[in-house]
Chains A and B, each alone.
Chain A
Amino acid sequence: MKRVQFSSVYLPYLFIAPQMAIIFVFFYWPSVQAIQSSFYLEDPFGFGATFVGLSNYSDALGSVQYQAIARFTVVFTVLVTFLSLGIGMLLAVKADAVLKGSSTYKTLLIWVYAIAPPVAGLMGMMFFDQHIGPLVKFAALFGWDMKVGLNYNDTAIAMIIVSVWKQIPYNFIFILSGLQSIPVSVREAAAIDCRSGFRRFWTMTLPLLAPTAFFLLIINMTYALFDTFGVIDVMVKDKAANNPITLVYKVYMDGFRGNDLGGSSAQSVILMIVVFVLTIFQFRFIERRVHYN
């Protein structure tokens, strides 16, 4: 680590001040506000707030609906994370092996990432449209009558597919650059030492990709938990009645549709704790097994 000497003790603080100001305004302050309002029952019309202690939390955690949504969120997050990581990795490994026209191929794969989440949701919606959606027609070939927006499971599957599709290019870019940072000679040495390409992938490529994969694991989980909001919003079209939603969407629904700011705040604090615990867990237990060069 290189140490920099500053002429004044205040100078380094001045340098990090803009960054800290942004974090404070957009993260710490709202967080503190959320924690505070999670202990109050807010009047929907803003006429006042009553201190209710932990009852917002017990209401949320005790609700059957909340528990069902939490269960769906876990399934959704796990599936989206592993599918998008897995497919992204498969594509990257294959693209890395392509010699001719590889840049065109890579660009085509990366393009999808430039689509904004709500647009992706809209496109996904069109893919699963009851009348014109090609994927619905494809499902019909197998006798599966997909009713996205009406049937709980069908909507869940469509939501997962669109979310995974949207995230694959991101994973693809990172894994591809991770692959290309593995020295050519190390790969060649492995090619001489090990005949099976499959075995080479598991014993050589994957361990050397581990730092990238670990980073992506965290990013993907955060994506599945929070950034899929736009996709879900378009898919369930604000009518969450019998449709699967994730916890983040419920925070939004309760807070801005149901005007229950206290309950909504309590839920977002719960989410904050979940993410906090997850991140600590990942850094303590997974990162240790990851090899850094």
Chain B
Amino acid sequence: MASIGIKDVSKIYNGGVTAVSAVNIDIADGEFIVLVGPSGCGKSTLLRMVAGLETISEGSVTIGDRVVNDVDPADRDIAMVFQNYALYPHMSVYDNLAYGLKNRRTPKAEIDARVAEAARMLELQPYLERKPRALSGGQRQRVAMGRAIVRKPSAFLFDEPLSNLDAKLRVSMRGEIKRLQRRVGTTSIYVTHDQLEAMTLADRLVVLSGGKIEQIGRPLEVYHRPATTFVASFIGSPAMNLVSGEVHGSKLALGPALIELGATVPTQGAVTVGLRAEDLRLHQGLDGSMPFRIDYVEELGAQRLVHGLVGDQPMVAALSAEIPLPETASLSIASFRLHFFDTASGRRIDWAGERAGAAATSTVEFVIS
């Protein structure tokens, strides 16, 4: 068990390409951190620098109270779970689990006990004598997990461990990973491009883009208060609607629509406005504040995603499947649910209105919907 410190860490490749630039993350002992971002955002590179598989160009990585920049991967006291499992194909499941322990001169009895314990935890007992090729994808994934657990390392590093599994297995393995991590309480860094996986697993999320941190925070915090337009569009499904609007006095103009903001306004003039699809309400006719031209509908079963235009800007609304879709429709949104971002920098603009509204209705919200 150990905390992990990532301080001003950069990765600059020989050609001068910067994959990770000046990243700072403090990970508490036992915390589950998820690095999430689109492909090429540097999340795997960052993880591999912690593992020691990539050199650290600048900055320092601390595991426990030891700076590990120049420490061999095998001596960093970490265990890694790879995307394609990286099992040793010529070894039985037992040997795969025991390999790391054998190389550390662990006594035979201790190895047996630890492998047995891990096998029991992961329900791998019937397969201990099998070779990896005789296992299914889910079983291989569990062996990879077991290989990490038996070592009892200071930290687990997960590099997109579930992306090779089918959707159903992914959901169940996700639960299993979370449960396991809670049980052994080992500090974990988990890399994924799947925002749903990130939301469900993380104690804290680190959203990365272009090698830089966009936001660090608890999953709901990131969801409810995205720090940038990038985070807003990346976290949450469907993605947050981002449209350009203008604030005049106390009113927000979104194309033809005017929304009353109340006593306080975030800014004046041009602004990027974020609207979560699930915060939008549909109205028959033009009762709502935003006239909505419906384009097409995606049926998801419990929900339907209605795509259309407000003015000339595309908008998606997540609606209950029972609401009939009228010929002429309009949308409305509670003003405290609006997110405002600076048009130029894309950074969030905090305003008093959202907090006031959230505090007033957060308890009632569930009853209404």
Which residues of A are in contact with B by a Cβ distance under 8 Å? 183, 185-186, 188-196, 199, 203-204, 207-208, 210, 291, 293
Given A183-B84, A185-B84, A293-B133; A192-B100 close (CB under 8 Å): yes
Candidates B51, B89, B90; contact of A192 at CB < 8 Å: B51
Query: B73 near A192 (CB under 8 angstroms)?
Result: yes
Candidates A188, A189, A195, A210; contact of B72 at CB < 8 Å: A195
List of B residues within 8 angstroms of A208 by Cβ: 89-90
Chain B residue with minimal CB distance to A195?
Answer: B74
Query: A188 near B86 (CB under 8 angstroms)?
Result: yes
Q: How many whole Å from B137's CB to the nearest CB in chain A?
A: 15
List of A residues within 8 angstroms of B78 by Cβ: 192
Q: Which of B51, B84, B90, B99 has the most CB of A within 10 A?
A: B90
Candidates B52, B80, B90, B133; contact of A189 at CB < 8 Å: B80
Q: Which of B52, B72, B84, B103 has the most CB of A within 10 A?
A: B103
Query: A293 near B89 (CB under 8 angstroms)?
Result: yes
Q: A188-B82, A193-B74, A194-B99 are in contact. List 7 more A-B contacts (CB 8 A).
A: A185-B86, A188-B51, A191-B74, A192-B52, A192-B53, A193-B151, A195-B72
In the docked arrangement, what's the CA distance between A203 and B88, Å?
A: 10
Question: Taking the complex as formed, is B75 at the interface, i.e. its CB lies under 8 A from any CB of chain A?
Answer: yes
Chain A residue with minimal CB distance to B159?
Answer: A185
List of B residues within 8 angstroms of A195 by Cβ: 72, 74-75, 103
Contact string against A for B residues 53-85, beta-carbon threshold 8 Å, 1 for contact and 0 otherwise: 100000000000000000011110011101110
List of A residues within 8 angstroms of B72 by Cβ: 195
In the docked arrangement, what's the CA distance between A215 and B73, Å?
A: 34
List of A residues within 8 angstroms of B90 by Cβ: 207-208, 210, 291
List of B residues within 8 angstroms of A190 by Cβ: 88, 99
**B8-54 CB contacts (< 8 Å) to partner A:** 51-53
Q: Can you list 27 contacts pairing A with B, beta carbon distance less than 8 Å?
A: A183-B86, A185-B82, A185-B83, A185-B84, A185-B86, A186-B89, A188-B51, A188-B80, A188-B82, A189-B82, A189-B86, A189-B87, A190-B99, A191-B53, A192-B73, A192-B80, A192-B100, A193-B103, A194-B100, A195-B72, A195-B74, A195-B103, A199-B103, A204-B88, A291-B89, A293-B89, A293-B133
List of A residues within 8 angstroms of B73 by Cβ: 188, 191-192
Query: A186 near B86 (CB under 8 angstroms)?
Result: yes
Number of A-B contacts (CB under 8 A): 63
Chain B residue with minimal CB distance to A204?
Answer: B88
In the docked arrangement, what's the CA distance between A105 and B103, Å?
A: 33
Identify the 5 closest CB pairs spanning chains A and B, nearest first. Answer: A193-B100, A195-B74, A185-B86, A189-B86, A194-B103
Contact string against A for B residues 97-136, beta-carbon threshold 8 Å, 1 for contact and 0 otherwise: 0011001000000000000000000000000000001000
Query: A189 near B88 (CB under 8 angstroms)?
Result: yes
List of B residues within 8 angstroms of A193 by Cβ: 74, 99-100, 103, 147, 151
Chain A residue with minimal CB distance to B151?
Answer: A193
Query: A192 near B103 (CB under 8 angstroms)?
Result: no
List of B residues within 8 angstroms of A194 by Cβ: 74, 99-100, 103
Q: How many whole Å from A187's CB to the nearest CB in chain B?
A: 8
List of B residues within 8 angstroms of A185 by Cβ: 82-84, 86
In the docked arrangement, what's the CA distance between A183 and B73, Å?
A: 18
List of B residues within 8 angstroms of A191 by Cβ: 52-53, 73-74
Q: How many whole Å from A203's CB to the nearest CB in chain B?
A: 7
In the docked arrangement, what's the CA distance between A189 and B75, Å?
A: 13
In the docked arrangement, what's the CA distance between A190 and B51, Å?
A: 12
Given A195-B75, A204-B88; A188-B103 close (CB under 8 Å): no
In the docked arrangement, what's the CA distance between A208 and B87, Å?
A: 12
In the docked arrangement, what's the CA distance between A193 and B72, Å?
A: 11
